[in-house]
Amino acid sequence: MKLLVTGGAGYIGSVVTALLLEAGHGVTVLDSLSTGHRDAVPPGATLVEGDVHGAADVLDPSFDAVLHFAARSLVGESVQDPGPYWANNVGGTLALLEAMRSNGVNRLVFSSTAATYGDPPSEAPLRESDPAVPTNPYGASKLAVDHLLSGWARAHGLGAVSLRYFNVAGAHLGFGERHDPETHLVPNLLRVAAGRAPHASVLGTDYPTGDGTAVRDYLHVADLAEAHLRALERAEPGSHRVYNLGSGGGYSVREVLAAVRRVTGHPVPAVDGPRRAGDPAVLVAANALARRELGWKPVRTLDRTVADAWAFARGREAGA
């Protein structure tokens, strides 16, 4: 197939692009490089530098489908300045859908988020049928896109699949996490292991969990990327499906810290601190629907995830 990947110079988009190329597809990447990296576009893909609002300048009737990763994704930033999140995440997607419709491209895989759910109603794994009540503009913008896709499917015959991720980590095929600023736990712990930060921060030690720290769902980026290829096959005209992607379980902050110490062989000192306001005790995804309908399941362990992220980080340092 001939595919457009928006945001394909970013972390997850680059890994998905690499897998698509391995599967024999032709890929054009549309990325503004505002947060992505030119050297993260896998060899064999065509890079068009530009904003998702300009998708009409790239798409033509020869394309078969779109995988859409281009989005602003920092929760705190979205609270401080929500306008760009609505303009890019919703307005940009609307422009993309208009471009797809005018060119007869009717299959889309959308990179969504667990932030659409907001504060979970219980500590049980979240299911797709649970209420989606986002608590920040980032999650609200992603949920708005889900509603947009449902309407587009009914009105214009779009076949769309939304994939709601939780925490993604690791590296694959030479592509990994390179955010600035970095807000994710695993790469920040690895910065301490590499001697680039004095200590890790454990935010909250009094949660009602096994060890008092928050529990989250961690998924290897390669497992996540493989789900996108399966979702591409599942996108059927006139339908919009939503799937959670997660491990089906979860790990506490202290368990992730122990894995980083185990994998790297470094002590990784940690300092306990207070909870962040609004952080739930447990946030994990039920993945039964994705297993059943996509034929997908995660296979890489937490230690493998950390090891791959560590190898990528060390490789970046060696090449600097």
Q: Known catalytic residues?
A: 138
Q: What are the φ and ψ backbone dihedral angles of 172, each rounded to 5 degrees?
A: -155, 135
Of 4, 2, 13, 58, give the one whose Cα is nearest residue 176.
13
Q: Which two tokens stand for residue 66?
A: 């779109």
For residue 251, the cross-strand partners are 216
CB 305 within 8 A of CB 222: no
Return left, alpha or beta for 2; rule: phi > 0 is left, psi -120 to 50 is alpha, else beta.
beta
Among all chains, which residue has been given the structure tokens 């998924």? 219
User: What is the Cα Rg of the chain in Å?
Assistant: 19
Among all chains, which residue has been given the structure tokens 């947060």? 35
Query: How far is 189 from 199, CA to CA, in rounded Å?
Result: 8
- Report the alpha-carbon angle 97-176-253, nearest 5: 105
Q: What are the Cα distances from residue 120, in Å, to 128, 133, 224?
A: 12, 9, 22
DSSP state, residue 8: T
